[in-house]
A and B are shown apart, each in its own frame.
Chain A
């Protein structure tokens, strides 16, 4: 049973389109995150949600809108896709609000590779 699952795994789309990536965790964690990994493998936080509430928005364009219908789900919707949005997007979850007191840090999904053409 996958702990943090993301769909789709691959997404190829044209510039200007709108797309969504879904994430679900079955760990009972309170906090979920979206990270973006660029072509140089650099991982950067985008958003953090705690119990369905937005906690962190790290200077991400307004075209990116996260939505958390419940604490087990955090979806990412992207409007008007641009070439620079091409990256791998990772969803993650942790047990406590941001601070990883549990000794295993964040649990990551396997990523969604977004390619904008």
Chain B
């Protein structure tokens, strides 16, 4: 399930199920988006990116969907594995500005 408020939103999924992590971005001028994965004690790591001229992009077991109309981004992870447990961030970018990160969602995989 999900919990929000003072704590980081958490998504708990069973191993083998698909995960969907959502993100609302803030700036309609942003035209490049990245999903990052941050494991405990490590820095964020690139997962997948998408440019604003695309609605969908697929990688290995991951898919990113972009809905510019409602400024929404989602990350789908197929057949979630214990190694997918981490905090996931979306980040948005527009020309000549640094990456701006969203709030993060903790994915917890139940074996």
Q: Are A and B associated in one complex?
A: yes
Residues of chain A whose beta carbon lies under 8 Å from any beta carbon of chain B:
4, 33, 35, 40-45, 48, 56, 90, 92, 97-100, 103-111
A41 to B37, CA, bound (A): 12
Q: Which of A40, A41, A48, A107 has the most C-beta atoms of chain B within 10 angstroms of its own C-beta?
A: A41
Shortest Cβ distance from B41 into chain A, in angstroms? 7
Closest Cβ neighbor of B51 among chain A residues: A103
Interface residues of B (CB under 8 A from A): 6-8, 32, 34, 36, 38, 41-46, 49, 87, 89, 91, 93, 95-101, 103-104
| Nearest chain A CB to B76 CB, angstrom units | 19
A100-B99 in contact (CB<8A): yes
A90 near B103: Cβ-Cβ < 8 Å: no
**Which 10 pairs show the lowest CB-CB distances between chains A and B?**
A108-B43, A43-B101, A105-B34, A45-B98, A41-B104, A105-B46, A104-B46, A108-B44, A110-B43, A98-B96
Q: 18 A-B pairs, CB-CB below 8 angstroms?
A: A40-B6, A41-B87, A41-B104, A42-B104, A43-B89, A43-B101, A44-B101, A90-B43, A98-B98, A99-B32, A100-B32, A100-B49, A100-B93, A100-B99, A104-B49, A107-B46, A108-B44, A111-B43
